[in-house]
Amino acid sequence: MATTKRYDVKDLALAPEGVRRIQWADRQMPVLAAIRERFEREQPLSGYRISACLHVTTETANLARTLKAGGADVVLCASNPLSTQDDVAAALVEEYDIAVFAIKGEDNDTYYSHIEAAVDHKPQLTMDDGADVIGVLHSARREQLGDIIAGTEETTTGVIRLKALEADGKLGFPIIAVNEAKTKHLFDNRYGTGQSTIDGIIRATNVLLAGKRFVVGGYGWVGRGVASRARGMGAHVIVTEVDPMRALEAAMDGHEVLPMAKAAEIGDIFCTATGDKGVITAEHVRRMKDGAILSNTGHFDVEIDKPALRSLATETRHAREFVEEFTMDDGRRIYLIAEGRLVNLSAAEGHPALVMDMSFANQALSAEYAVANAASLERKVYPVPDEIDREIARLKLATMGIDIDQLTEEQAKYLASWDEGT
Ligand SMILES: NC(=O)c1ccc[n+]([C@@H]2O[C@H](COP(=O)([O-])OP(=O)(O)OC[C@H]3O[C@@H](n4cnc5c(N)ncnc54)[C@H](O)[C@@H]3O)[C@@H](O)[C@H]2O)c1
């Protein structure tokens, strides 16, 4: 059944502000803009229906515009109930004629009904951030699997879920793992999430980081970025890990490494960034100091055990926007930001456009690649082709006005040989 209602957004009157902010982000997204110009001429996505489930931000709006410029018929829904920017959603509908189903603060039922609406679009291409559309297609909408050429996946957690689906032999169509591109995770996960996570914590609490003990759960790409930015603001950073290699790296980067049970006793601010569940549990909360602030920047709201926090509390109260206060029976107060959901997208604006330029260039070019290579792609999770990754790096450097050296013929030969020594 075709979608009858082409949007569900908070308020279309917010569109003018959304347009201004989309244009502002666009100034920082020159690589995507160049792709959009080429797409307009070449129409590589002509006639393709795309259902995209992404954070509805200014940067995503510029991606949606790019896909549409390439000839695609795009429907967008949110990949998190709290990350939608309502003015952007309105602008996409009013100004750019793109169907959007997303409202900031939507409840779980609405969130999933919006994903259903995107799936009703009968996509031939999917774009996910956390694999929620693909999840619905592989459960309630299996009859649509055969119509789909390929999907792309934006984040680490989504790629993990899709690789699990592939390993089970159940993946219904090819996937391009955008997160695995170097021009994505090296910059977006590290610098983008690093900065915007700190931004979210500060906007929500106005806390001073200098002199605080800042506990980072997980030292992957995201954790590294958050830790280095927290240190840059003068915090003493403590890292918790389960992987010995990553723990060693954190220690040699100069951070204190502790098990969460110990970190819980001394931390002032906590931020989980693991993609795992139960990183902060009741046992940890019992040990925390009065005033401890908890946040999460991993994909799902399962890293902090919210039910446990609730059950330990004798009283809960809305302390300020995005901050909930939990009072324990001994009088300690623990604060949770943005319901334990992605703090950078819930309490701030998500990644700066300059890094999303590369992430979304990968999305646009991966969609083009999937269409052009549909006949040869199997039901597997593929990396972004290296040529695309390198081309994005080259273009980004050019737009930043940075020149680099070129290998001479002699150097290229030397680097490819084994017989030249001292
Ligand atoms: N907030 C955002 O905008 C944003 C952006 C990019 C990625 N993400 C999400 O952030 C999460 C992390 O992404 P990443 O790219 O850094 O992944 P990653 O795989 O590089 O790193 C995760 C790290 O967490 C560690 N870990 C796992 N379980 C743990 C536990 N119980 N305690 C301590 N450490 C543990 C792992 O050993 C690993 O080092 C994912 O959910 C990803 O989808 C969020």
Strand locations in 18-170, DSSP E? 49-53, 73-77, 99-101, 125-128, 150-153
C-beta of residue 116 within 8 angstroms of C-beta of residue 144: no
Looking at the predicted structure, is the pLDDT value of residue 5 above 90? no
Atom of ligand 1 nearest to the CA of 344: 1
Taking residue 362's Cβ as centre, other Cβ atoms within 10 Å add up to: 29
At 332-361, the pLDDT tens digits run 999 999 999 999 999 999 999 999 999 999
| Burial class, 403, CB count within 10 angstroms (exposed 0-12 / middle 13-18 / buried 19+) | exposed
Mean pLDDT of 154-166: 96
When pLDDT is cut at 50, 70 and 90, the band that residue 422 belongs to is confident
Residue with tokens 């290579």: 373
Helices 244-252/221-232 angle, 10° precision = 20
CA 125 to centroid of ligand 1, rounded, Å: 27
Q: Which of 60, 129, 156, 343 to mutate to test the pocket of ligand 1 (most atoms within 8 A of CB)?
A: 156
CA 274 to centroid of ligand 1, rounded, Å: 3
Percent of the chain with pLDDT over 90: 98
Q: Report angle CA 356, 383, 139 to the nearest 5 degrees.
A: 90
Task: Give the closest residue to 318 by CA, choosing from 346, 298, 344, 338.
Answer: 338
C-beta of residue 136 within 8 angstroms of C-beta of residue 162: no
pTM here? 0.94
Residue with tokens 């050019």: 398
C-beta of residue 97 within 8 angstroms of C-beta of residue 114: no
Instruction: Establish whether residue 152 lines the binding site of ligand 1, counting it when its CB lies within 6 angstroms of any ligand atom.
Output: no
At 169-218, the pLDDT tens digits run 999 999 999 999 999 999 999 999 999 999 999 999 999 999 999 999 99
- Which residue type is seen at 146? G
Residue 2: what pLDDT? Answer: 42
Task: Give the closest residue to 78 by CA, choosing from 112, 109, 48.
Answer: 112
When pLDDT is cut at 50, 70 and 90, the band that residue 3 belongs to is very low
At 241-277, the pLDDT tens digits run 999 999 999 999 999 999 999 999 999 999 999 999 9
When pLDDT is cut at 50, 70 and 90, the band that residue 114 belongs to is very high
Taking residue 84's Cβ as centre, other Cβ atoms within 10 Å add up to: 30
Q: Which of 154, 155, 344 to mutate to test the pocket of ligand 1 (most atoms within 8 A of CB)?
A: 155
Mean pLDDT of 102-112: 97
The torsion of the CA quartet 369, 373, 376, 380, rounded to 10 degrees, works out to: 20
At 274-327, the pLDDT tens digits run 999 999 999 999 999 999 999 999 999 999 999 999 999 999 999 999 999 999
Q: Which of 59, 222, 228, 240 to mutate to test the pocket of ligand 1 (most atoms within 8 A of CB)?
A: 222
By alpha-carbon position, which residue is closest to atom 32 of ligand 1?
Answer: 241
By alpha-carbon position, which residue is closest to atom 1 of ligand 1?
Answer: 297
Task: Give one word for 275, left, alpha or beta, with left for phi > 0 and alpha for psi -120 to 50.
Answer: left
Q: What is the DSSP secondary structure assignment for residue 46, as one 8-state letter?
A: T
Task: Give the closest residue to 82 by CA, choosing from 386, 337, 351, 393.
Answer: 337
Biggest alpha carbon–alpha carbon distance for the chain: 73
Distance CA 314, CA 301 (A): 22
Distance CA 33, CA 46 (A): 18
Looking at the predicted structure, is the pLDDT value of residue 4 above 60? no
At 55-93, the pLDDT tens digits run 999 999 999 999 999 999 999 999 999 999 999 999 999
Instruction: Establish whether residue 247 lines the binding site of ligand 1, counting it when its CB lies within 6 angstroms of any ligand atom.
Output: no
Task: Give the closest residue to 191 by CA, choosing from 358, 45, 340.
Answer: 358
